[in-house]
Amino acid sequence: MAIATINPATGETLKTFTPLTNVEIETKLALAQSTFEQYRHTTFAQKSQWLNQAADILEKDKLKFAQIMTTEMGKTLQSAIAEVEKCAKVCRFYAKKAPEFLADVSIPSDASQSYIAYQPLGIILAVMPWNFPFWQVFRFAAPALMAGNVGILKHASNVPQCALAIQLILDQAGFPSGAFQTLLIGASQVKPIIEDNRVKAATLTGSEPAGAALASAAGQQIKKVVLELGGSDPFIVLESADLEEAVATAVKARMLNNGQSCIAAKRFIVAESIAERFKEQLLAQFQALTIGDPMTKSTDIGPLATASILTELDQQVQEAIKQGATVLLGGKPLTDRPGNYYPPTILTNISVDSATAQEEFFGPVALLFTVKNIDQAIALANHIPFGLGASAWTNNVQQSKRLVSEIEAGAVFINGMVKSDPRLPFGGIKRSGYGRELSSQGIHEFVNIKTVWIK
């Protein structure tokens, strides 16, 4: 895949980039290593100052950064602005909380003094996706830099200007020039980097195949990896739920980022007694969404990020129809305009054992299921290879307890939309990956948790 900015709203190639050579990669790795030797001793106060300055830059120029995101991957400008603001928040969060999260922890033992110390590892490789091109990077960079590590970024090949902008933000904020570097490289150039002895660990957000490839390469080197992969999150609505609020949230949860989010609600599992009302309201609200230019404020749904994503999503929908699914709305790419546009789509009458029910649909396609009771709802929610997030709607306390206890996922939200929050750990189980980002758990993933015993 070429490293290029291709506007998904028009299909126009705006800018292309030449991948780094092996010599250029070596220069950047050498700089990262030499920077780490000094940077690891930087005080929390200094790192916090730099990270707060990065937040200042993000907030000051949020429209400029949002426009880069929208141009490169098609998210609506309003959602891109919100993403930049969220990046500033995660910077401020770790600038404040890292000293607490990484403070020595005294543990009574048979020693005169014993404690846990948290120390940096070195160079951390981040392989990041295009769908949240600023947020995914900053939620890695903020804790990694505060822990005293240095970062190298291999971003998705369709968001190179986002990748370069992020490095520039951190440089301008005051971080040493080798503390965070963007590497404009192809996927084939990642394996030699993870094999380099100077690179101590890696994190990847992306597809299952990409995660498996990185984990395999890192495993050969006995190196730590955090993986945040796909999801087909259930959105369960039971009889006691506030139906109107559930439907309104369902629309937001499925259409987030033009439907291109790992934690978007994808499978809507609804109690039989309210299923018809839910379906009617969901259909009406999907029909009311405005599809168009993502730069326009009134647009609800912009284009998919690439032409290949559009093709793949359409192939999934057509295969679902062959397997017996019914199309309530949408179901075909929009051909009345340039760009990668796919309309809000609802599929029903899906066999729970079909391939369709097991797959992740990365676009504005909702799969609608009906169940008789909470037992069936939980069983269906778990009947997939993924386990990232889940949203469930009920005002019955006992049902809430069962949903929290029995749903197999890294996060369960009751009467709310699944979202990431710097204060709470984020990650999945099963084929959705392992390890955690954010909160104290996220910053502890890439440190040496060292036992110290003194007599």
Active site residues: 228, 262
Query: What CA–CA distance (Å, rounded) separates 312 from 320?
Result: 12
Q: Give the end-to-end CA distance of the chain in Å, rounded to a whole number.
A: 58
The DSSP-derived string for 277-327 is: HHHHHHHHHHHTPPBS-TTSTT-SB---S-HHHHHHHHHHHHHHHHTT-EE
400-409 contact pairs (CB < 8 A, 24+): 402/374, 402/378, 403/236, 403/374, 403/378, 406/378, 406/382, 407/234, 407/378, 407/381, 407/382, 408/381, 408/382, 409/233
Residue closest to 229 by CA, chosen among 206, 259, 260 = 206
- Retrieve residue 84's tokens: 């930049």
SS (H, E, C) 95-157: HHHHHHHCCCEECCCCCCEEEEEEEECCEEEEECCCCCCCHHHHHHHHHHHHCCCEEEEECCC
